Structure 1
């Protein structure tokens, strides 16, 4: 048996042994595993190795190292876990390292987001383009711009590379140098940048600003080790506000403790944020440790169908305690908690160990029985259309809320649907590429607006690139077009943060969410009265 095969089978054996260990933990109230259980495990391992040996000996093609890894890491182990539930998962060494990096909220590199774009002259038909340098990073300080094409790294051509390969070459130990060669529109020859790698923070609060006078806006992309601190910093920066919109759209979740610490900033000391119930470990109840500081302002939380897990914990806690008005779409519905166990060779097992419940006692997990993994994540036909069969619970002030199938918003805001014209503009990178052309020989000031002259230049650009459109298309999507042009130009001229602000200020869902602040104020008043009533009953 080849050494690579032995290593693969060893990995599987360690993995299954880890599962057996977890099983013994789950059944730790029993003095010891029965002999029957141990015999069954040995038989299962023996069956697996026999099947693998048959595959290795008789498969039509030779199983090289990559195919072995793929069969084990992408096939056998994930398939076993997904039989249990959609969220238990196995991480191979590369994925495990990436997960840890994402949780820490930092990495070492040069600080830029990149993306492959079509290029008929390239070997693989693609080129690697800089979307934006992150502000304050080596790339930003060196003057790298959105639209720059990465043609070489340390003298090695990027032809044929994908964005993952390019990103891995740009990363490296802090203080080391990397030479990046860029092709820039309007520049007669390539530009070479000597960059010194540094610690690159990944902010989970990528945007926090006063979206209206006295009204703060915070967008949280995920929950990692720095999230609650970032939210606290944003609130401190806002100062005395009289309203807040928290945007959790597309937030996939993250670290449970950071969700609890974030909710802590808006609830009262002692209130329950979330509770966990499982079979392997004691039940846990997470309560507010410090509580809201400063004035009691109204809060609107904006969610959508891709708001999940830790983000649902926050929105569910604020809804159950009547602290925020939840608006948008019904959320994803992930009420399962995974514990990450490190196994061999820097691999990891994320195993579901708990169900979590909101303060009112809701389990918001969607049904996944007899549902394919693809349908569970992407089709979502099981999103509740009525509440007749759903679990009914009450908030602190007596409002009705429902369990199962995600967090139901108090007020619905539909997701705007893109049309054919919009899809065509984005598919052809029309706004991004127009910005490169527009700023090639000019600079703008912050009072820039997309006027008729800019629109005419945009039309000319579309024609030069043979991107189909009609005047009727432009006129019926004029606000959307102008917003995208301005956002891309501001990103290139002033940095990614300013581009995000432009998009938020135009966003129709955010604009609608702001109109619900009076209802959020009434809800905030109700929550204060409910807290006072609870306090009074406890002191009697």
Structure 2
């Protein structure tokens, strides 16, 4: 009872701290009136009274796990959800993961794993890590870690067992197709970097391609390293599709590589703290055209970069209207390794566009998954602004692209093959008695072997299905084989070279050059939001 009471008091303290540091929840701590303070005390009293009634009368015994869930997954998230979709509370486990993601490194063996049926399967070892050096392959099944079976474990539990202090040993038992006995790997844990630029290469002669997955502490350095590796180029495609954002300062530092010194990157405005304007600290003299590819899952820091380059006419934005996440969360450490990510500012692009889209009266499901595309031009809530050269751009609903590129949609065959891990499992099967070189051509004979494999796995298809998707099938087979044989980067390169959205984005490089030279036709300077 004493321990539970302490937990309850601790949880109440978190709740009070959340209300106190927020300001915006109850009207601002620094200027709170006596009436406000009384209302806060009454709210706290109601909370603790409800908790006491639950603790004393609930049908089941309230153990520590249920108490934690009631507080961490119920009371506090419920309060924050009323405010906006992005304020959130991080329990100790989530808080530790968030810090790991921001640092861009952890200590372990370096492999991506996923559940596949009842098994935990290696998706790919990361290049240069202990797993990669030891010869672990995509498709290997993790049977045991340090002699403890992984049966009935989820991938999170297995990943936790693989992590540990640098320099320590971990024994991993693997099952591999074509190998009669399990393979045992003695791995020495090391620092595992997490790269936000997972692929960068010249996709066409003189045209660089960079895919940025998120914005963490190393992102601007990784982008610079990619640019250095390219050498002199005549154009750049920055792929921000699916980028959920991350650290604000890294968004500023990445933007700085393409803007003039002193250019505004983003402004943030709130109630409890002074407004802040972030400018390009150093600037750059690069003059090549830039195309930025975005989609509906490009969010937050990635929208800051897209909006800044668009407003300063430094890049042509192509793709889909972005997510529209322009609420800034400040992380307040609370106690016992927990943290409150509370919305304290709104993001605005250099032209003054609000990035955040409307969320009033919208369920969390609809907000994240069922939202619509670009705002119509006649929407009275749409902000109309001008870029440096006088082009019309719109705010209040993400970043609207200068040129639309349709969303990639899969057909029935693609869905079936991916649901059954057909390419992944075919790669295991094929490489059990074959090797491939970088000169590999996916010819008719290899396609026939793939078809035979599908039949052996009882995966239904027709020859017409394959013919209608032949380019996709060939590129996916090659990408999976290259991932296993040469590493993830080579596999991603094959996928990028096939990707229709990337191919379409590259066709807009002349328009990006015209934008860089401020010679866009007049009709493009007066585009509509529905374009």
TM bin (shorter chain): over 0.9
Q: Secondary structure at the match of 1:441?
A: coil
Cα distance between partner residues in 2 of 1:332 and 1:518:
27
| Displacement of 1:28 | 6.4
| Displacement of 1:3 | 1.3
Cα distance between partner residues in 2 of 1:95 and 1:219:
26
From 305, 312, 327, the equivalent of 2:318 is 327
Query: Given the alignment of the two structures, is residue 365 of structure 1 paired with residue 364 of structure 2, yes or no?
Result: no
Q: Tell me which residue corresponds to 1:61.
A: 60
Cα distance between partner residues in 2 of 1:399 and 1:191:
61
| Displacement of 1:45 | 1.4
From 163, 168, 182, the equivalent of 1:171 is 163
From 112, 128, 138, the equivalent of 2:130 is 138
Q: Is the 8 A contact 1:5 1:68 kept in 2?
A: no
Q: Tell me which residue corresponds to 1:533.
A: none
Q: Tell me which residue corresponds to 1:381.
A: 372
| Displacement of 1:527 | 8.6
| Displacement of 1:50 | 1.1
For each residue in 1:224-279, what CA deviation from the matched residue of structure 2 results, as whole angstroms up to 9, or x when unmatched? 00001100111111110000000000000000000000000000011100111111
Q: Tell me which residue corresponds to 1:123.
A: none
Q: Secondary structure at the match of 2:287?
A: coil
From 432, 450, 454, the equivalent of 2:424 is 432
For each residue in 1:28-68, what CA deviation from the matched residue of structure 2 results, as whole angstroms up to 9, or x when unmatched? 663xx333222222221111111112112222222222221
Cα distance between partner residues in 2 of 1:76 and 1:201:
36
What stretches of structure 1 move > 4 A for 4+ residues in a row? none
Q: Secondary structure at the match of 1:129?
A: strand
Cα distance between partner residues in 1 of 2:178 and 2:30:
72
Q: Tell me which residue corresponds to 1:224.
A: 216
Seen in structure 2, the aligned counterparts of structure 1 residues 29 and 115 have a Cα distance that, compared at 3 Å, is closer
Residues 163-172 or 34-43, more deviating? 34-43
List aligned pairs for 1:38-49, cutoff 5 A. Answer: 38-49=37-48
Cα distance between partner residues in 1 of 2:363 and 2:9:
28
TM-score normalized by the length of structure 2: 0.95
Cα distance between partner residues in 1 of 2:376 and 2:86:
24
Q: Is the 8 A contact 2:173 2:182 kept in 1?
A: yes
Aligned CA-pair RMSD: 1.5
Cα distance between partner residues in 1 of 2:241 and 2:373:
20
| Displacement of 1:385 | 3.8
From 354, 357, 379, the equivalent of 2:345 is 354
| Displacement of 1:16 | 1.6
From 291, 296, 308, the equivalent of 2:299 is 308
For each residue in 1:361-399, what CA deviation from the matched residue of structure 2 results, as whole angstroms up to 9, or x when unmatched? 000211000001111011103752445431100000000
Cα distance between partner residues in 2 of 1:527 and 1:202:
40
Q: Tell me which residue corresponds to 1:258.
A: 250
Q: Secondary structure at the match of 1:216?
A: strand
Cα distance between partner residues in 2 of 1:439 and 1:339:
48
Query: Given the alignment of the two structures, is residue 184 of structure 1 paired with residue 176 of structure 2, yes or no?
Result: yes
Q: Secondary structure at the match of 2:283?
A: coil
Q: Tell me which residue corresponds to 1:450.
A: 442
Cα distance between partner residues in 2 of 1:515 and 1:193:
47
Q: Secondary structure at the match of 1:345?
A: coil
Q: Which runs of 5+ in 2 are unaligned?
A: 521-531
| Displacement of 1:4 | 3.1
Seen in structure 2, the aligned counterparts of structure 1 residues 16 and 382 have a Cα distance that, compared at 3 Å, is farther
From 259, 280, 283, the equivalent of 1:267 is 259
Cα distance between partner residues in 2 of 1:252 and 1:364:
14
List aligned pairs for 1:398-437, cutoff 5 A. Answer: 398-437=390-429
Q: Tell me which residue corresponds to 1:10.
A: 10
| Displacement of 1:72 | 0.8
Q: Which runs of 5+ in 1 are unaligned?
A: 119-125, 529-540
| Displacement of 1:14 | 2.9
Cα distance between partner residues in 2 of 1:117 and 1:233:
36
Q: Is the 8 A contact 1:396 1:527 kept in 2?
A: no
Q: Secondary structure at the match of 1:144?
A: coil
| Displacement of 1:461 | 0.2
Q: Secondary structure at the match of 1:526?
A: coil
Residues 218-227 or 372-381, more deviating? 372-381
Q: Is the 8 A contact 1:321 1:527 kept in 2?
A: no
Q: Tell me which residue corresponds to 2:269.
A: 277
Q: Secondary structure at the match of 2:122?
A: strand
| Displacement of 1:449 | 1.2
Aligned residue pair count? 518
Query: Given the alignment of the two structures, is residue 292 of structure 1 paired with residue 284 of structure 2, yes or no?
Result: yes
Q: Tell me which residue corresponds to 1:535.
A: none
Q: Is the 8 A contact 2:374 2:400 kept in 1?
A: no
Seen in structure 2, the aligned counterparts of structure 1 residues 117 and 92 have a Cα distance that, compared at 3 Å, is same
Cα distance between partner residues in 2 of 1:26 and 1:440:
65
TM-score normalized by the length of structure 1: 0.94
Q: Tell me which residue corresponds to 1:20.
A: 20
List aligned pairs for 1:4-153, cutoff 5 A. Answer: 4-23=4-23, 27=28, 30=31, 33-118=32-117, 126-153=118-145
Cα distance between partner residues in 2 of 1:29 and 1:69:
31
Q: Is the 8 A contact 1:397 1:527 kept in 2?
A: no
From 511, 515, 518, the equivalent of 1:523 is 515
Cα distance between partner residues in 2 of 1:188 and 1:341:
53
| Displacement of 1:8 | 3.7
Q: Tell me which residue corresponds to 2:485.
A: 493
Seen in structure 2, the aligned counterparts of structure 1 residues 114 and 527 have a Cα distance that, compared at 3 Å, is farther
Cα distance between partner residues in 1 of 2:334 and 2:340:
7
